[in-house]
Amino acid sequence: MSNRNAKLINWLWMILCFFFLFSPGPLWAAGAVQGSTGMPWWGWPIILFFFCFVLGIIAVLAGVGGGVLYVPLVSAFFPFHLDFVRGAGLFVALSGALAAGPGLLKRNLANLRLALPVALIASTCAIFGAFLGLALPTNIVQICLGAVILFIAILLSTSKNVERPTVTKQDAIGLALGMSGSYLEETSGEIVHWKTHRTLMGFLLFIVIGVAAGMFGLGAGWANVPVLNLLMGAPLKISVATSKFLLSITDTSAAWIYLNKGCVIPLIAIPSIIGLMLGSIVGVRLLAKAKPKLIRYLVIGVLIFAGGKALLKGLGY
Amino acid sequence: MNIKVNSREAQASPEQIAYANLLFYVAWGAILLMTITYFLYVTQLITPYIPIQDIPKYWSLPANEFAKHTGNPAGWGWFPLLGKGDFLNFAGISLLGTLTIIGFLTLVPAYIKKKDWSYLTITILEIVILILAASGILGSGGH
């Protein structure tokens, strides 16, 4: 990594750390109804925009979705209620997935035959998850969110994805649905053929993934990839790309539930979406020169911090 | 895993390419639309339904409480208010939410043509699920 880029990334982290340490979020939240906010109405949206811009860069460099960072960090350090953070979080994840989808589909990395059956399960369960998340008391959701974020941090630090898992025999469901395909491995010029196995177990896990995505407003890439890759045997590239495309379907169903429940405020949602999209574009440019491993460890650290904070917030500390 | 040298096999299907093209133009169009409507909103060139300076007073409350204080509509109640600066933003937001449904509709004729009945069924079921979620029939309003 060149010195210039290393410096830039260090700066991004310093800005985030500074914000975490000096965020007046909880104070604002306490006095919100009385309107004793002190800052003009445009203050928080501007901070949110730049925060999401930095988050977008870091998410790309760390190889995680924006939603998984957005919900725990914004709910921890901004004065918005969790309802609005989850509503915006789903649209953040949705817009990122929709923007990335075309390139992945055209290169046949995101595969409709793999995505469609699991998307049907996950999107149906995401509706249930959204209703569940909106029905439960906020502190319970905060506690569960904290636990899930800590689990994701552990998953990110321990999960060892396999580039091309060996699938000796396709199972009956995978065979019946034709869940197989091929793609061009650009690094070697090979055409790689793949097929799935343990499809039923994969489908069952997508029930849990869908509920979690809807309940917490998180993009579920962190869970999609290990299930598609490690359990169902899809190659890593196919799993990552199909997961991104899957989010556009899973998050659509949950996002509509939040929208219909009045949980989407444009003043919060739009700077988040645009900030993260612009950050992602810059992140892709920095990707070639960054040290993803180091950034990944830093993200895991931030997730542990944010998860712990959500947990404590839910417990009333 | 087999490795063969036949690049045609690795190409995306025509329905996949059609879906990708639709996603590309509409998704970026929606993001551009949101940028424009947000500018109109925050500059208050179009008067918002909920006074913009009131929103920070209530955004730390749950959505139902926020609605009580601000009159924020539930379900599709925003649709008749599209002429207001704040709800004009919902044009781009709802376009993002509708895009997947439109994309799935384009897959239906392709699967009929291929006589791929299992994927046709999955596609139709997905469309029904997404429309149900979007319609507000399953539930809207405060919680």
Q: Does B35 touch chain A (CB under 8 A)?
A: yes
Asked if A120 lies within 8 A of B126 by C-beta distance, the reply is yes
Q: Does B32 touch chain A (CB under 8 A)?
A: no
Picking from B9, B89, B96, the nearest residue to A266 by CB comes out as B89
Q: What is the pLDDT of residue A32?
A: 41
Residue B78 has pLDDT above 50, yes or no: yes
Q: Does A184 touch chain B (CB under 8 A)?
A: yes
- The three-state secondary structure class of B73 is coil
pLDDT digits (tens, 9 = 90+) for A239-294: 888 888 888 899 999 999 999 999 999 999 999 999 988 888 888 777 666 666 77
Residue A4 has pLDDT above 80, yes or no: no
Q: CA A47 from chain center: how many Å?
A: 21
Q: Does A42 touch chain B (CB under 8 A)?
A: yes
Q: Does A249 touch chain B (CB under 8 A)?
A: yes
Structure letter (DSSP) for residue A191: E
Q: What is the pLDDT of residue B3?
A: 43
pLDDT digits (tens, 9 = 90+) for B25-77: 888 899 999 999 999 999 999 999 999 999 999 999 999 999 999 999 989 99
Interface test with A, best of B1, B101, B127 (most A CBs within 10 A): B1
Contact A61, A283 (CB under 8 A): yes
Asked if B1 lies within 8 A of A176 by C-beta distance, the reply is no
The angle formed by the CA atoms of residues A105, B108 and B30, to the nearest 5 degrees, is: 55
Lowest mean pLDDT among A9-23, A230-244, B113-127: A9-23
Contacts of B96 in chain A (CB under 8 A): 91, 94-95, 98, 255
Q: Among residues A218, A251, A211, A238, which one has the least CA distance to residue A82? A: A218
Q: Calculate how close chain B gets to A200, using CA atoms only, in Å.
A: 16
**Chain A CA closest to residue B93:** A91
Among residues of chain A, what percentage have pLDDT more than 70? 86
CA dist., res. B98 & res. B102, Å (int)? 6
Q: What is the pLDDT of residue A25?
A: 45
Q: What is the pLDDT of residue B49?
A: 96
Interface test with B, best of A23, A125, A182 (most B CBs within 10 A): A182
Interface test with B, best of A111, A197, A267, A313 (most B CBs within 10 A): A267
Residue B118 has pLDDT above 70, yes or no: yes
Classify residue A272 as exposed, middle or buried by CB count within 10 Å of its CB (0-12, 13-18, 19+).
buried
Residues 89-108 of A with CB under 8 A from B: 91, 94-95, 98-99, 101-103, 105-108
Q: What is the pLDDT of residue B9?
A: 62
Q: What is the pLDDT of residue A317?
A: 80
The one-letter amino acid at A56: G
pLDDT digits (tens, 9 = 90+) for B82-91: 999 999 999 9
DSSP sequence for B81-139: GTTSHHHHTHHHHHHHHHHHHHHHHHHHHHHHHHT-HHHHHHHHHHHHHHHHHHHTTT-
Q: How is the beta sheet containing B3-4 ordered, strand by strand?
A: A180-185, A190-195, B3-4
Query: Which position has the higher pLDDT, A110 or A132?
Result: A132
Q: Provide the number of CB pairs (under 8 Å) joining chain A to chain B.
A: 244
Q: Which residues pair with A194 in a beta bridge?
A: A181
Q: What is the pLDDT of residue B124?
A: 97
* Confidence grade of residue B12 (pLDDT, cut at 50, 70, 90): confident
Q: What is the pLDDT of residue A12?
A: 62
**Chain B CA closest to residue A176:** B118
CA dist., res. A97 & res. A248, Å (int)? 5
pLDDT digits (tens, 9 = 90+) for B62-71: 999 999 999 9
Q: What is the pLDDT of residue B143?
A: 55
pTM for the structure as a whole? 0.85
CA dist., res. B93 & res. B50, Å (int)? 18
Picking from A45, A191, A249, the nearest residue to B10 by CB comes out as A191
Contact A193, A184 (CB under 8 A): no
Query: Which position has the higher pLDDT, B129 or A310?
Result: B129
pLDDT digits (tens, 9 = 90+) for A179-197: 999 888 877 888 889 999 9
Residue A30 has pLDDT above 50, yes or no: no
